[in-house]
A and B are shown apart, each in its own frame.
Chain A
């Protein structure tokens, strides 16, 4: 296997740093300059943190000068989605509600990366409170697609995907509740991993839907996703649902996939655009040529995944977002007579329309008289979807599916029916419902040159297996599936 077929960004930068081809300060400045130049086009960053970045870079250079061995992510310029808490650094969730809010503690993932001297370039754009699939619900205006700035970057982690695809960060961390890492990664032609629920600590991730949220990496290649996953998937005593990883992903990437059984659920191939279907068929052929076996089967409970997701996610969100009352942090309305009025005005003025709609739906399905028909039933259907995937994994090693039924849509698309936008998430939400690990990897382009992505999904805590399957595909298909955008920092 030729080394040249392998895409890598982080390892390459790390070698350049340790071999002193470039200093960390120089590298960091290159990224900061690129952000300065290109961010007004992409709207990827909400907050840029040059001081934090350069302080870390200087510390890294000192360690290099002292002959210390660099840790895997040390000195690598990166970004965090703006719903990951960073002590002293504004964390807005792309909402008016949290404009100016500076957390007083670090999210566990940031603590882990900070301890490795990761260079934080800034905080990136997203759909408000991670509610959306286009990044356009951001209070600060949506992030756009580096492949074509007339199209959306996707969402909700659109800013991270836009920054990484646009070479304004080497990698970033996003969060994925119903597809928010994988969908923008797919739209922007890069790699996004949603780990198993519980693999990565949620402590410090500003919650959208607690039982579905997971933090994961958005990177330019599979190897980087494995590197970052290995760094952040650690058991955390601060998160009761945290378990850490079962095994490291990076060492598994060399495993042969010959004989691997790849499951293809029929339900996943309904309602796709022709180009996405063609791309998926080609991917299946590529896998078969590598000796993998394609297994088709039905996965009936998938039919209800989308409404189940919206019911459960909105119920949890309605509760999670109740705390924004203007008293302890964030936006506070000015004119009011009673406490009740202050809180209502704060929330109505501070939250955008989509957030308000989801809060209303969430409270509706939880309210007395409706709980059984919606929340309880959705919970039971969740159990059925979990069981469906468990059964599927009895007959295959990984499941393959498109990430999104279509490619990135044009900016400013509007619908008379808000639920039409929800259809974008149809392929990604079942994975969150079942708590499974899934990676989106680029697998081609549509006629307009917009990237297409596919998901590889594994049993719980089998990130290594999932990433290995993705890695084999990436190495096999090379430039057919991935093209770097000519902007930002060119390494």
Chain B
């Protein structure tokens, strides 16, 4: 029998607010242990939380960007469990009245992965194991998170990956998170079940916790799928449980222990008040959203006529897309700009991180100046490419690198003159060419390039030279 994978995802995303969710400590990553702490985020007796307005706004933006409804009234609850990384022994989260509900993300296939809810909550601290002893660092404790929960709509590992990538991209676009998996600012829990292909009934699911890379997620889902199919085939039951992926063995294993009585005893957080959001506030936040990746892609393909693959590549990196938009703004030939970015510029940033950062010595306006010269025919592509390279090396604008004279020098009349001089000065080469040695013209082209300091269009020069040789 063939089996189908059914998965739902819970994605925790750290928000890039300046401060923690309930106190003014910085959210900066990678400092000495317990240096971003205060009595509030270490749960000292008597302290009280105060909700960061930016966290609510970021979460609402995340909801709007994924087509969610925004709750007119939301509240916060305590999720009670004792663990050393949770200093209050409860996590302040949202249980039955989350900020955002009923959204979706559309995959390239057109299938929609429904988003059940997005809620805000606080991150826990981190256990540190040293020489067999266990310590805890609360720098991360109280860093704001959103948890994005989907329906079990995912049908393959590829879909899971695409969903997470899209979610990640949207969050980066709207500026609510940097979504760095390697720093743990995006982590996924996957609910996996299997069922015979064609069946409508959902199987029993197992939850695999805390995966912070695509590689792990892929491996874990594959392992879990195989494990569950084996169980079902051999007539055994899949147990509903939480499992951990072990990178070393590439397997998942149950996390249940006797001490782990799973009952979170949620109740209203009495130290915080309700969150009321008016339609006006929602619209104001919607107005602050930038153009989202899907819309951008559609515009690049539809309006600009970019090939889908090129459009995807540009959209994939928010800063690159913004750079492109600014450089191509109002031009007749945005495609030319796209090619320069995907060619000359991408060559200089081979890694994803570099493209992500899009740190260039030139501004988008400078690329635009160059593109305008190309568009007006004043500059040929060859020269444009070499000029762009120099611009990227030096940060100088095109005006400083190519003089009016240089541009005039490759003007067609000027080129004609230089070619005529070249033909006149090299009777031998002309004779060779006429005798059938077509390569002889290359020497003449070389002469022209030298005379124009390499700024002439070689193809154009060749055409003129041949024309002159035939005339002569």
Question: Which chain A residues have a beta carbon within 8 Å of chain B's beta carbons?
Answer: 83-85, 91, 93, 98, 101, 103-105, 107, 202-207, 209-211, 237-241, 315-316, 318-319, 322-323, 325, 327-329, 338-340, 343, 363, 366-368, 371, 375, 379
Contact = CB atoms under 8 A, between A and B. Distances in A.
Contacts of A85: 44-46
Contacts of B88: 322-323
Given A104-B39, A210-B271, A240-B273, A329 B48 contact: no
Is the contact region of chain A dominated by helix, strand, or loop, or is it mixed?
loop
Is the contact region of chain B dominated by helix, strand, or loop, or is it mixed?
loop
17 contacts: A85-B45, A85-B46, A103-B44, A103-B46, A206-B45, A210-B270, A237-B50, A240-B49, A241-B273, A319-B265, A322-B88, A322-B89, A322-B90, A323-B87, A323-B88, A325-B82, A327-B87
Contacts of A238: 48, 50
B82 A322 contact: yes
Interface in B36-54: 39, 42-51
Contact of B82 (A83, A101, A204, A343): A343
Contact of A319 (B39, B80, B134): B80
A329 B42 CA distance: 10
A205 B90 CA distance: 18
Contacts of A318: 80, 265
Contacts of B136: 327
B46 A315 contact: no
B259 interface: yes
Nearest to B127: A339
Contacts of B270: 209-211, 241, 316
A315 B80 CA distance: 11
B158 interface: no
A203 B47 contact: yes
A103 B134 contact: no
B303 interface: no
Contacts of A206: 45-46
B342 interface: no
B271 A328 contact: no
Interface string B242-284: 0000000000000000010001011110111100000000000
A319 B89 contact: yes
Contacts of B48: 202-203, 238-240
A371 to B, nearest CB: 8
B43 A323 contact: yes
Interface residues of B, number: 31
B45 A103 contact: yes
B172 interface: no
A363 B47 CA distance: 22
B44 A325 contact: no
Give the residue among B42, B46, B78, B88 with the most A Cβ atoms within 10 A: B46
Contact of A339 (B44, B50, B84, B89): B84
Contact of A325 (B46, B89, B259): B89
B260 to A, nearest CB: 9
Given A319-B78, A322-B80, A322-B89, A203 B259 contact: no
Contacts of A343: 82, 84
A91 B45 CA distance: 10
A319 B45 contact: no
Given A322-B80, A322-B90, A366-B80, A315 B267 contact: yes
Interface string B59-87: 00000000000000000001010101001
Contacts of A338: 259
Given A319-B267, A322-B89, A366-B267, A240 B46 contact: no
B137 to A, nearest CB: 12
A320 to B, nearest CB: 8
